[in-house]
Amino acid sequence: MKKKSRSFIVLAMILLIGSILSGCGGEKKSPMYDTNLEIWGVFDDSGDYGTILSAYQQLNPFITSVTYRKFPIEDYERELLDALAAGNGPDIFMIQNSWLPDYLNKIIPAPQEFINEKKLRETFVDVVADDFLVDGKVYGVPLSVDSLALYYNKDFFNAAGITHPPKTWEEFSSDVEKMTQIDQFGNIVRAGAAIGTGKNINRSADIITLLFLQSGIEMVSESEKEANFLRYVKKGDEYVNAAENALKFYTNFASPSRSVYTWNRRQHYSLDAFTEGTVGMMFNYSWHYNTIRRKNEKLRFGVAPVPQLDESAPRNVANYWAFVVSKNKKAFTSSGRQLPENVRRHEAWEFLKYLTMRNGSSFKIVHALSKKAKKMPLSIDPAKEYLALTHKPAARRDIIEEQKDDPVLGIFARGNLIARSWHRKNADAVDKIFVDMIENVNLGKQTIAQALETAQSRITQLLR
């Protein structure tokens, strides 16, 4: 009975909105249609979208249902690519912010009347435009953006007489020396920070990228066909090899001959070491905060902004997921008719406008074929609903304004305002190249200059 009742209500709403959108008098009525939307993603549970999807189905009579399907991160991209190739993938799916170059031929941009460049830049933090704006067209929109923060052990800080987290890398180095404990045999008993190596540090590629970006390095050429982080950067009246300085600074923390020696390849994985309470500081994203809290309830830790090379020009690194719309998928109405591709795409992007943008107290439903529109009352702000439930830092500027004073989320939300990214093909391969670069220096296989040259050459090959 419930299913029949639902079908009857949907049909009645379709007829009602069709009558409204068709205009008055002898105007020809808009062709009727209905469709289902399927969303694929990772990390989020379907319950995170329950109220949001239910509200939209009531709001838009052309939508019979909107469903969300969660995948394990290790299976997601393989399942997604297989489904897209077969033409039976999702209407909407999530991609990591560095994946866009690999997916451009599989997705379609937003209609200008829904989300254009001006709206994107006004609504979201700058990195979203950096990542998902191509030739003036919007290819993706996020609910949340995440950026690196400094996790620190409060008890270690107090014992070392450190009164506040470091604001600069110079202060960071000093704090590392104060907290590090090495026994008579040269073993690291307590690490001041998890930094300096590649494989046993979570997101080590992002940390070295952070240092590169703070050094003023442009990661790729203007054409995005070549990696060029070895180009000299002007500092004051002179030009310096900023990449060499950054990599040397990073790897010094894993060099026994340096005063800042605090970490090596034998240490526990950084996330585990911090959770166990054997390291004073580490760099990571917001999604690990609750993981650490659950695994060690007794650990007294805090989060702070990442140290800066130049406090007058702060920089951070972004790592997040955004929603995109698939280019091709066979869609059908409830009666079994195949839906025109332009209608499915229209409905998918209209939903993403509802989900991510600042819509106010009403939402304009636009008929995909006739383009006639009707404003419908909006009872919730979907983005706020989602972020309140998941406790994630916002992508939208107006919500960051509300989050910025939160003792935990505020650190990451404010970090989003200064976060940056760069276009790269095969992001996983690039991460591995950076890890190899670090490891080759640690093991003495290459000098810093050689390791950088090798990494730049390998990334350029990927870009081409």
Rounded CA-CA distance 218/422 in Å is 9
For residues 56-69, give the mean pLDDT.
95
Determine, yes or no, domain membership for 431: yes
373 CA to centre of own chain: 33
Determine, yes or no, domain membership for 366: yes
User: Which secondary structure element, helix H or strand E, spans residue 138, and what is its range?
Assistant: strand 137-138
Q: Residue 102 pLDDT more than 70? A: yes
Other Cβ atoms closer than 10 A to 233: 17
pLDDT at 29: 60
Asked whether residue 312 falls in the same domain as residue 447, the answer is yes
Provide, rounded to the nearest whole percent, the portion of the chain with pLDDT above 70.
Answer: 94
Q: Which CATH number do you get for residue 88? A: 3.40.190.10
For residues 55-60, give the mean pLDDT.
95
411 DSSP 8-state letter = H
User: Which of 330, 363, 390 represents a domain boundary (last residue)?
Assistant: 390
Provide, rounded to the nearest whole percent, the portion of the chain with pLDDT above 90.
Answer: 83
Determine, yes or no, domain membership for 27: no
Asked whether residue 246 falls in the same domain as residue 282, the answer is yes
**Choice between 223 and 437, residue whose per-residue pLDDT is larger:** 437
For residues 87-105, give the mean pLDDT.
94
Determine, yes or no, domain membership for 281: yes
How does DSSP assign 270-324, residue by residue? HHHHHHHT-BSEEEE-GGGHHHHHHH-TT--EEEEPPPBS-TTS--EEB--EEEE
Rounded CA-CA distance 79/74 in Å is 10
For residues 147-173, give the mean pLDDT.
98
Asked whether residue 88 falls in the same domain as residue 183, the answer is no
Phi-psi region of 444 (alpha: psi -120 to 50; beta: other; left: phi over 0): left
pLDDT at 25: 38
Asked which of 181-185, 208-212, 422-426, 441-445 is least confident by mean pLDDT, the reply is 422-426
User: Which of 364, 390, 416 represents a domain boundary (last residue)?
Assistant: 390
Q: Residue 203 pLDDT more than 80? A: yes
Asked whether residue 68 falls in the same domain as residue 105, the answer is yes
Determine, yes or no, domain membership for 156: yes
Give me the half-sphere count of Cα atoms (radius 13 Å) on the Cβ side of residue 30. 25
Domain of residue 39: give its range: 33-145+320-390
pLDDT at 240: 85
pLDDT band at 302 (very low <50, low <70, confident <90, very high): very high
Mean of per-residue pLDDT scores for the chain: 92
For residue range 344-389, what is the model confidence (pLDDT) as tens digits? 999 999 999 999 999 999 999 999 999 999 999 999 999 999 999 9
Asked whether residue 125 falls in the same domain as residue 249, the answer is no
Determine, yes or no, domain membership for 97: yes
**Choice between 273 and 220, residue whose per-residue pLDDT is larger:** 273
pLDDT band at 409 (very low <50, low <70, confident <90, very high): very high
Cross-strand pairs, 40: 69, 93
Domain total for the chain? 2
Q: Residue 22 pLDDT more than 80? A: no
Dihedral pair phi/psi, residue 168, rounded to 5°:
-125, 165
Q: Residue 24 pLDDT more than 50? A: no
pLDDT at 30: 63
Asked whether residue 173 falls in the same domain as residue 216, the answer is yes
Total-model pTM: 0.91
Asked whether residue 258 falls in the same domain as residue 352, the answer is no
Asked whether residue 134 falls in the same domain as residue 166, the answer is no
pLDDT band at 239 (very low <50, low <70, confident <90, very high): confident
pLDDT at 330: 83
pLDDT at 270: 98
- Joined together, the tokens standing for residue 118 give 């001006």
Distances (CA, A) of 223 to 23, 226, 228, 460, 463: 49, 8, 11, 12, 10
pLDDT band at 202 (very low <50, low <70, confident <90, very high): very high
The residue assigned the tokens 């989060």 is 303
In the chain, the N- to C-terminal Cα span, in Å, equals: 58
Nearest Cα residue to 317 out of 214, 167, 428:
214
**Choice between 328 and 204, residue whose per-residue pLDDT is larger:** 204
For residues 248-255, give the mean pLDDT.
98
pLDDT at 334: 82
SS3 221: coil
